């Protein structure tokens, strides 16, 4: 995107995704469920970084990282290694983070993937497996705080870092990419992005090939769009003078603040982790992970289009939501009218939390769709019943009965309605003859007069009228 000042924006993202489905940490047997614990309760000598301890790799974490890599169309390395990333900071008790590296002989677990976002491809540079550092809490704000508190419960939690090429061109695109990434990862069942801090993001932003600024600590995807918009505006204002630095996103004040000049890679003194053996994944092992993998979003969308005849757009919207997809599949087994079903689910259920199990049984929903398909009720009436049922907790099929919902399908009655509407609008019929929009307008006017009229019958009779029948 060209900004108002004509400078091209390039954004690359580093997404940190906790493998929340794991029961233990990456290199020790401490529980990974740290969110409900008191600070520093879920720690042991390994994740607390005491000297003399040895890490043992969590095999399930390797499997989950491989699943993410395959879902993002990456090439999984047959042999990858852990590296030590050395830095001194209180969130890292060992003084180094066990991570992966793709230079100086290092190989990350996967590389070279891509994600399709709105018809465009965002390339994935690499995926690496690493441990999460502890969590620092500052008193007040990070730049003025007189002390900080540290909780090592998070230290050693398995993270998958997903690094993109700088293919993203504005804040909105970054948000769409992240939402897609989250739905892919959630469909694998390896991480729950809803959990606080389970998916975090650093962003590298540059304008027109200027200095690259890294914004760290964006704790949720909601904040990403705000942080990027702020940073693009800031760099545009200082056009040409942005310096290579690391900035912190301050959520409370909605600004980025300078933390330090950007570290160079050599500052981290990367070297191979001597306490861990390389990860060896034979092609057969990768293939077996692939076979056992749940379906990812894109594959699910194309299956919906092929198997149920859904329109491409609707299939995509439905497939992006795991819960709604599961509900749709239950309903689809019970009856026909799949496009109608999917349309109602996406249109009526995605904006609200899915009703608790039992509140909207698939049988009732399928029965409601059948009523539309057989013209017993109109789509508008079905929506009315659905909303009323969800609001009151009554079964939708009962709501239809209670409210006496039924469509008017009697052709004589509808023809009389059309007579009235057409008579009140001289010339409208003539106009509708060659123009789809005017035709739909007339159908709409008839439905306005009688909302219970079955739109299909109205359209049929109106079309006959146009052709002089």
Applying CB under 5 A, does 207 fall inside the site for Zn ion?
no
* Residues within window 126-185 making contact with Zn ion, judged by CB under 5 A: none
Task: Kindly state the smallest distance separating residue 98's Cβ from Zn ion, in Å.
Answer: 13
Task: Kindly state the smallest distance separating residue 400's Cβ from Zn ion, in Å.
Answer: 57
CB nearer to Zn ion: pick between 30 and 417: 30
Applying CB under 5 A, does 28 fall inside the site for Zn ion?
yes
Task: Kindly state the smallest distance separating residue 47's Cβ from Zn ion, in Å.
Answer: 3
CB nearer to Zn ion: pick between 276 and 367: 276
Applying CB under 5 A, does 44 fall inside the site for Zn ion?
yes
CB nearer to Zn ion: pick between 91 and 295: 91
CB nearer to Zn ion: pick between 150 and 171: 150
CB nearer to Zn ion: pick between 26 and 70: 26
Applying CB under 5 A, does 17 fall inside the site for Zn ion?
no
Could you tell me which stretch among 37-45, 59-67, 72-80, 138-146 binds Zn ion (CB under 5 A)?
37-45
Task: Kindly state the smallest distance separating residue 46's Cβ from Zn ion, in Å.
Answer: 5
Task: Kindly state the smallest distance separating residue 159's Cβ from Zn ion, in Å.
Answer: 15
Could you tell me which stretch among 14-22, 47-55, 85-93, 417-425 binds Zn ion (CB under 5 A)?
47-55
CB nearer to Zn ion: pick between 29 and 148: 29
Applying CB under 5 A, does 69 fall inside the site for Zn ion?
no
Task: Kindly state the smallest distance separating residue 280's Cβ from Zn ion, in Å.
Answer: 25
CB nearer to Zn ion: pick between 130 and 173: 130
The site for Zn ion, by CB under 5 A, has a size of: 5
> Can you give the chain as a three-state secondary structure string?
CECCCCCEEEEEEEEEEECCCCCECCCCCCECCCCCCCCCCCCCCCCCCCCCCCCCCCHHHHHHHHHHHHHCCCEECCEECCEEEECCCCCCCCCEEEECCCCCCCCCCEEEEEEEECCEEEEEEEEEEEECCCEEEECCCCCCCCCEEEEHHHCCCEEEEEEECCCECCHHHHHHHHHHHHHHHHHHCCCCCCCCCCEEEEEEEEECCCCCEEEEEECCHHHHHHHHHHHHHHHHHCCCCCCCEEEEEECCCCEEEEEEECCCHHHHCCEECCCCCCEECCHHHHHHHHHHCCCCHHHHHHHHHHHHCCCHHHHHHHHCCHHHHHHHHHHHCCCCCHHHHHHHHHHHHCCCCCCCCCCCCHHHHHHHHHHHHCCCCCHHHHHHHHHHHHHHCCCHHHHHHHCCCCCECCHHHHHHHHHHHHHCCCCHHHHHHCCHHHHHHHHHHHHHHCCCECHHHHHHHHHHHHCCC
Applying CB under 5 A, does 188 fall inside the site for Zn ion?
no
Task: Kindly state the smallest distance separating residue 185's Cβ from Zn ion, in Å.
Answer: 24
Applying CB under 5 A, does 415 fall inside the site for Zn ion?
no
Task: Kindly state the smallest distance separating residue 156's Cβ from Zn ion, in Å.
Answer: 5
Q: Give the number of C-alpha atoms closer than 13 A to the C-alpha of residue 422, restricted to the C-beta side.
A: 19
CB nearer to Zn ion: pick between 46 and 163: 46
CB nearer to Zn ion: pick between 41 and 265: 41
Task: Kindly state the smallest distance separating residue 36's Cβ from Zn ion, in Å.
Answer: 17
If one counts every other C-beta atom within 10 angstroms of the C-beta of residue 89, the result is 12
Applying CB under 5 A, does 30 fall inside the site for Zn ion?
yes
Applying CB under 5 A, does 47 fall inside the site for Zn ion?
yes
Contact positions vs Zn ion (CB under 5 A):
28, 30, 44, 46-47
């Amino acid at each position: 995107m060209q900004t108002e000042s004509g400078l091209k924006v390039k954004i690359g993202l580093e997404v940190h995704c906790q493998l929340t489905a794991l029961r233990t940490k990456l290199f020790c047997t401490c529980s990974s469920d740290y969110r409900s614990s008191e600070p520093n309760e879920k720690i042991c000598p390994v994740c607390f970084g005491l000297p003399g301890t040895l890490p043992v790799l969590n095999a399930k974490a390797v499997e989950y990282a491989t699943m993410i890599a395959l879902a993002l169309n990456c090439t999984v390395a047959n042999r990858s290694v852990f590296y030590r990333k050395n830095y001194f900071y209180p969130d890292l008790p060992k003084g180094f983070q066990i991570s992966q590296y793709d230079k100086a002989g290092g190989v990350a677990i996967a590389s070279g993937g891509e994600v399709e976002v709105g018809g465009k491809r965002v390339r994935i540079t690499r995926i690496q497996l690493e441990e999460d550092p502890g969590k620092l809490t500052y008193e007040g704000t990070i730049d003025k705080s007189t002390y900080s508190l540290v909780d090592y419960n998070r230290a050693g939690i398995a993270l998958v870092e997903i690094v993109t090429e700088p293919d993203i061109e504005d804040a909105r695109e970054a948000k769409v990419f992240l939402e897609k990434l989250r739905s892919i990862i959630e469909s694998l069942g390896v991480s729950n992005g809803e959990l606080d801090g389970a998916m975090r993001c650093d962003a590298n932003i540059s304008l027109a090939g200027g200095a690259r600024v890294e914004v760290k600590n964006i704790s949720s995807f909601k904040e990403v769009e705000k942080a990027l918009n702020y940073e693009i505006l800031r760099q545009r204002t200082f056009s040409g003078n942005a310096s290579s630095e690391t900035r912190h996103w301050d959520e409370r004040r909605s600004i980025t603040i300078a933390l330090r000049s950007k570290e160079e890679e050599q500052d981290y003194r990367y070297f191979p982790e001597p306490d861990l053996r390389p990860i060896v994944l034979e092609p057969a092992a990768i293939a077996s992970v692939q076979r056992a993998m749940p379906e990812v979003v894109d594959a699910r969308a194309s299956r919906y289009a092929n198997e149920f005849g859904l329109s491409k757009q609707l299939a995509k919207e439905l497939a992006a939501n795991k819960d709604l997809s599961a509900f749709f599949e239950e309903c689809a087994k019970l009856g026909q009218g799949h496009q109608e079903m999917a349309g109602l689910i996406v249109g009526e259920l995605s904006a609200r939390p899915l009703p608790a199990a039992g509140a909207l049984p698939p049988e009732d929903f399928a029965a409601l769709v059948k009523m539309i398909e057989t013209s017993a009720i109109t789509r508008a009436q079905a929506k009315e019943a659905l909303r009323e049922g969800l609001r009151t907790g009554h079964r939708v099929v009962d709501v239809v009965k209670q409210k006496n919902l039924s469509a008017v399908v009697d052709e004589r009655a509808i023809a009389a309605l059309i007579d009235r509407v057409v008579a009140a609008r001289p010339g409208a019929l003539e106009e509708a003859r060659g123009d789809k929009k005017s035709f739909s307008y007339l159908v709409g006017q008839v439905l306005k007069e009688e909302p219970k009229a079955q739109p299909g019958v109205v359209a049929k009779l109106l079309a006959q009228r146009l052709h002089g029948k």
